[in-house]
Amino acid sequence: MSEPTYNLIAPQKGVPIKAWTKGVQLEDQARQQLLNVAQLPFIFKWVAAMPDVHWGVGATVGSVIPTKGAIIRPLSEWISVAG
């Protein structure tokens, strides 16, 4: 089996984060946003971060946040609760 093409970030709480950031710097602020989102109760399986991921207002730019049974709009409201 070949090595995954992504970094796996396993938070203490919540779902894992698959970050396609090998060889790319992941900003501390963006990493914290991803960790906050990963703790939300309706996230489905994992959060994904693309190579261009960076901090954003409300949600991390370059992230994919799959949900089950939920539609998210302004994510900033949830992040402040989870953080």
Q: How many domains, in total, are found in the chain?
A: 1
**Strand partners for 61:** 54
- Asked if residue 48 belongs to a domain, the reply is yes
**How high is the pLDDT of residue 16?**
98
Q: Label residue 75 by pLDDT band (50, 70, 90).
A: low
Q: b/e string for 22-61 if b means 16 or more Cβ within 10 A?
A: eeeebeeebbebbbbbbbbeebeebbbbbeebbbeeebbe
CB 63 within 8 A of CB 53: yes
Encode pLDDT of 12-45 as tens digits. 999 999 999 999 999 999 999 999 999 999 999 9
Residue 66: inside a domain: yes
Residue 60 lies in a domain: yes
- Does residue 20 belong to any structural domain of this protein? yes
> Would you state the structure tokens that stand for residue 40, as one six-digit string?
């939300």
Domain residues for the domain of 39 are 7-82
* Residue 72 falls inside a structural domain: yes
